[in-house]
Structure formats: structure tokens, C-alpha cells
């Protein structure tokens, strides 16, 4: 990192030619870069307690609904510490800003929320503090295995998990009852239900999917695929492995026969579709109940949760979305930042606030707590939804990896696989195009891609 700063600074010198000033700047840039690096690797759990006692000010970027209340609770517990909470945009908007700040060498926050799929990208560019030295390894047992492996890989701990998103099938029971559909347990049944529903009422669809990279990769994950592997700078992309093909071949039946609603996810029309029954199911992460309750109030009492359909009847699911928080190397006070992070994602006080906001936890204590399992929200007709969702969290295949440039990969999903959706044609062709562009990009960026 410091070498990149140096090179950039040197180039700036050459361009602006304001030599004295610029040399001074580049020297300070290098100096601050190296001190924070050494500050990141050394340290211990005791340092965190000391930092909390000394106090100071840190900046935290997050778009979680619970952020504000959590920061308030933290500042109450540790009056010496001030946390500036900044909403720097939702997911990829925030990553853009974060990446810009990292490239510029200044302006990044101390702690930032980053989804699991994007963590490898920031870890690779050496922008995150390895938290092993602060004793974060001792916290491993508190989290379920899937989310933990998303923040700790390659022998380093890059963050702490906050929420998780084991996938389940959310379905509109009112629509199912009205059209005599049974809850599908396999994809063959799911596709049959899609045909029956759409034939009975052409304005109704089993689900909406216009091509979403996060959804597609999770579906491939569920199908047992492992299209991306990365070890250091050696990367391999195979979007035609058995799992990828299995998903594409079955999802093709919905895409090619126009059985999917073309309403883009998270749009205004999508929320309306979820409310009026024209979108009958959602295959998505366990964080969805909070979204449904707050944004689709009209359908209160209609929705239920069931396990994901499978290919052969063996229960299996995948993680979709979810993320944690990381400490940036630019932080002037990494010990305090790490202390805040430790409190944020492991202190019961903080997790209570997080759960109250409708989040789905990644901590095993909460996932197995009887109170949590017994919750029966009226929105879901009194169904104990957490029993289904927690059960799902135990059926996530291990070994899944994202690309170290997954944010970019997702940004070109619409250009490639999206075209198959648009033309109601074979998804495999789209996946092959996506693969080719990902391989080209990886090689251009200095990876060794197979």
C-alpha cells in the first residue's frame, strides 16, 4: 500500500512540478502509511481495553438501520469515545467511495460495513487491518461457520460478521391458497407451480428475477457449484462447473418460457408486486422479514417462510447477502477502531439493538436462543419463522469463495448473463460470456486466471 502511495505521489510531483511542497506531502503520506501498517499488525486484546479507556474519535461508515442506535449505546457505555456515523451510500455506492479513498490514500473511515462478497476485494488490496493480533481469533466460536469463513481467510481475520443471510423461500400463502398451489420442495415442483400460476392468471408470476449477480451466485452455491476460487493472486473462474450448470439448466425453464416477472428487484413496482400477490415467492436471505414488514406492509399476514426448494430433496441452501464490519488500514487509531468493532458485533447490548431492528444474526448464541426461535411475528401469520431460518443456516455448503474482484464482476452481470434474461435465451451462454470477461479482466489486473 505504501509503495502505491509513493508511486502515485511521485507521479503527482512529476505532473504538478511544485517540487518542494509535493515532496513534503509524499514523505508524510509514506510516513503515515507505514506507521498505521505497523500499528495494525502489532497489538493485543489488552490494547483494545486501553484504547477504550483513553478514548478518542473514530468514523464509522454504515447503512444498517441499527447503526444510529448502536453508536448511541456505545457512546453511552464509553463516554470517552466519539463515533461519527456516516451513511456513505448503500453497498456498491459505499464500496466506490471506499475504493476511491483507499486509492487517494486518505479519507477512508476507521470502521466500515462491507458485505461478505466484497471483503476479498478490499483484503486483496491490503486495505484492511488484520485483527488476529487483537485477539479476535478468540471470538471465532461466537459465530456460525459460514459468516466467519467470509471474514477470516488466508490465515488472517479481516473483520467481524454482523448479519447473515441463509436462504429460504418466502411465499405468499394467500396466492398459493387461491390457486391451489402446494409449497414446492424441489425445483421441478417449483417450476410446475410457476407454470400453473401463470397459466391461471397471466399477471401473476412465481417470482421476479431480471438477472441479479448476488442471487445467481447464491443459487449456484446452493446447487453445489464452486465457480470461483482464489488463492493469493491465482484465480480460477469456471461458470460451467456442475453446480453452475445445474442451476442454469433448471432456471432456464423459467427464463426461456417467460415465467419470471420482469420487474427489477428493489424497484417501486417490485414492492407493489410483493404486496398485491403478482410476485408469489422470493428465494432470498433470512434478512428479508425485516424488509417485508417495513416496506410491504400491505401484505401483512399473507407471507410465510419455507425451506429452499432443492434439486434432489436433500435439504441444502446457501448464503445470500449479509456482511460485517472491517477496520481500515488508514485508521489513525486502529486499536480504538478494533475495540469499537469488537463491541459492535459481539457485545450483547449491541446485538440486542441489531435484532430489534429486524436483522438476522450471525452469532450462535442468538441463533440458538429459545427466545429468538420462539418469535412468531403477526406479519407471518404467527409462524415461527426463525425456526425455518435458523435451520437453513445449518445447511450451507462450505468452501464457497467469491472473486477478489467480485464488485466489478457483479457490475457487468447485466451486460452478460442479463442478456440471456432479456432475450429469454440460454443462461449458460450468458454465464460463458461472463466467465470470459472475468478471465480477461483478471489477467489485465495482474492475476493469474485460469
Partner 1 sequence: MASIAVTTARPKRRAKRDWRGWGFVGPFMIVFLGVLVAPVVYAIVLTLFRQQLVGGSGFVGLSNYVTLFQDSKFWESLFRVTLFLLVQVPIMLVLSLVAALALDSLRLHGSGFFRIAIFLPYAVPGVVAALIWGFIYGNQFGLTGSLNKFIGFDLFQPFSSEWILASIGNIVTWEFMGYNMLIFYAALKVVPTELYEAAEIDGAGQFRIISGIKIPALRGSIVIATIFSIIGSFQLFNEPNLLKNLAPNVISSYFTPNMYAYNLSFAGQQFNYSATVAIVMGIITAVIAYIVQLRGSRQEVR
| φ, ψ at 176 (rounded to 5°) | -60, -45
**By C-beta, is 97 or 304 nearer to partner 1?**
97
9-38: contacts with partner 1 (CB under 8 A): 11, 14-16
Question: Angle at the Cα of 326 (from 320 to 327), degrees rounded to 5?
Answer: 170
Q: Is 92 in the site for partner 1 (CB under 8 A)?
A: yes
Among 39, 273, 324, 361, binds partner 1 (CB under 8 A): 273
Q: How far is the CB of 395 from partner 1 (least distance, A)?
A: 30
- CA dist 363 and 361 (Å) reads 6
Q: Is 263 in the site for partner 1 (CB under 8 A)?
A: yes
Q: Is 344 in the site for partner 1 (CB under 8 A)?
A: no
Residue 179 gets the label, from left (phi > 0), alpha (psi -120 to 50) or beta, of alpha
Q: Is 422 in the site for partner 1 (CB under 8 A)?
A: yes
- The helices-and-strands tally (H runs, E runs) of the chain is 21, 13
Reported in sequence order, the residue ranges of 70-215 that DSSP labels E, i.e. its strands, are 81-86, 111-115, 152-153, 156-157, 159-161, 167-172
Closest CA to 402 of 298, 308, 321: 321
Relative orientation angle of helices 348-356 and 334-346, to the nearest 10 degrees:
60
Q: Is 441 in the site for partner 1 (CB under 8 A)?
A: yes
- CA dist 437 and 39 (Å) reads 39
Q: How far is the CB of 161 from partner 1 (least distance, A)?
A: 25
Q: Is 414 in the site for partner 1 (CB under 8 A)?
A: yes
Cβ–Cβ contacts within 10 Å for residue 9, how many?
A: 18
Consecutive H or E run containing 439:
helix 427-444
Using CB atoms within 10 Å of the CB of residue 69, give its burial: 0 to 12 exposed, 13 to 18 middle, 19+ buried.
middle
Q: Is 269 in the site for partner 1 (CB under 8 A)?
A: yes
**By C-beta, is 8 or 384 nearer to partner 1?**
8
Q: Which stretch binds partner 1 (CB under 8 A): 134-142, 295-303, 382-390, 415-423?
A: 415-423
- CA dist 256 and 327 (Å) reads 45
Q: Is 231 in the site for partner 1 (CB under 8 A)?
A: no
Q: Which stretch binds partner 1 (CB under 8 A): 150-158, 170-178, 216-224, 404-412?
A: 404-412
Q: How far is the CB of 209 from partner 1 (least distance, A)?
A: 11
Coil, helix or strand at residue 320: coil
163-222: contacts with partner 1 (CB under 8 A): 210-211
Among 89, 135, 264, 397, binds partner 1 (CB under 8 A): 264
Q: Is 361 in the site for partner 1 (CB under 8 A)?
A: no
Q: Which residues pair with 170 in a beta bridge?
A: 282, 305
User: 97-126 mask for partner 1 (x: CB under 8 A)?
Assistant: --xx--x--------------------xx-
Q: Is 424 in the site for partner 1 (CB under 8 A)?
A: no
Residue numbers of the site for partner 1 (CB under 8 A)? 3-4, 7-8, 11, 14-16, 92, 96, 99-100, 103, 124-125, 210-211, 233, 263-264, 266-269, 272-273, 278, 404-405, 407-408, 411-412, 414-415, 418-419, 421-422, 441, 444-447
Amino acid at each position: 500500500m505504501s509503495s502505491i502511495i509513493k508511486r502515485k505521489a511521485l507521479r503527482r510531483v512529476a505532473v504538478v512540478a511544485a517540487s518542494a511542497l509535493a515532496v513534503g506531502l509524499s514523505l508524510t503520506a509514506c510516513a503515515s502509511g507505514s506507521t498505521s501498517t505497523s500499528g495494525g499488525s502489532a497489538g493485543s486484546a489488552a490494547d483494545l481495553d486501553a484504547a477504550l479507556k483513553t478514548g478518542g474519535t473514530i468514523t464509522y461508515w454504515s447503512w444498517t438501520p441499527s447503526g444510529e442506535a448502536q453508536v448511541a449505546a456505545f457512546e453511552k457505555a464509553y463516554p470517552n469515545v466519539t463515533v461519527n456515523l456516516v451513511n456513505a451510500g448503500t453497498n456498491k455506492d459505499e464500496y466506490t467511495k471506499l475504493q476511491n479513498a483507499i486509492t487517494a490514500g486518505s479519507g477512508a473511515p476507521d470502521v466500515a460495513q462491507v458485505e461478505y462478497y466484497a471483503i476479498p476485494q478490499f483484503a486483496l488490496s491490503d486495505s484492511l487491518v488484520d485483527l488476529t493480533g487483537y485477539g479476535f481469533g478468540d471470538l471465532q466460536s461466537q459465530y456460525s461457520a459460514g459468516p466467519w469463513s467470509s471474514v477470516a481467510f488466508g490465515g488472517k481475520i479481516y473483520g467481524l460478521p454482523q448479519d447473515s443471510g441463509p436462504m429460504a423461500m418466502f411465499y405468499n400463502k394467500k396466492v398459493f391458497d387461491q390457486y391451489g398451489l402446494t409449497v414446492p420442495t424441489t425445483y421441478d415442483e417449483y417450476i410446475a407451480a410457476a407454470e400453473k400460476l401463470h397459466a391461471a392468471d397471466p399477471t401473476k408470476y412465481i417470482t421476479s428475477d431480471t438477472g441479479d449477480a448476488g442471487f445467481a451466485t447464491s443459487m449456484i452455491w446452493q446447487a453445489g457449484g464452486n465457480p470461483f476460487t482464489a488463492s493469493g493472486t491465482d484465480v480460477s473462474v469456471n461458470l460451467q462447473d456442475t453446480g453452475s450448470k445445474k442451476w442454469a439448466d433448471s432456471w432456464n425453464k423459467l427464463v426461456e418460457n417467460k415465467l419470471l416477472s420482469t420487474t427489477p428487484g428493489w424497484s417501486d413496482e417490485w414492492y407493489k408486486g410483493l404486496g398485491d400477490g403478482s410476485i408469489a415467492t422470493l428465494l432470498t436471505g433470512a434478512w428479508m422479514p425485516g424488509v417485508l414488514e417495513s416496506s410491504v406492509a400491505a401484505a401483512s399476514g399473507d407471507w410465510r417462510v419455507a425451506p429452499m426448494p432443492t434439486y434432489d430433496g436433500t435439504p441444502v441452501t446457501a448464503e445470500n447477502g449479509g456482511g460485517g464490519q472491517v477496520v481500515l488500514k488508514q485508521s489513525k487509531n486502529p486499536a480504538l477502531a478494533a475495540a469499537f468493532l469488537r463491541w459492535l458485533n459481539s457485545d450483547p447490548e449491541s446485538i440486542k439493538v441489531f435484532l430489534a431492528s429486524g436483522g438476522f444474526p450471525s452469532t450462535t448464541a442468538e441463533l440458538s436462543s429459545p427466545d429468538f426461535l420462539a418469535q412468531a411475528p403477526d406479519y407471518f401469520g404467527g409462524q415461527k419463522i426463525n425456526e425455518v431460518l435458523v435451520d437453513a443456516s445449518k445447511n450451507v455448503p462450505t468452501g464457497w469463495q467469491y472473486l477478489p474482484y467480485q464488485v466489478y464482476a457483479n457490475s457487468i452481470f447485466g451486460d452478460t448473463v442479463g442478456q440471456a434474461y432479456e432475450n429469454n435465451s440460454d443462461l449458460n451462454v450468458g454465464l460463458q460470456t461472463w466467465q470470459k470477461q472475468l478471465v480477461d479482466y483478471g489477467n489485465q489486473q495482474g492475476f493469474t486466471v485460469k
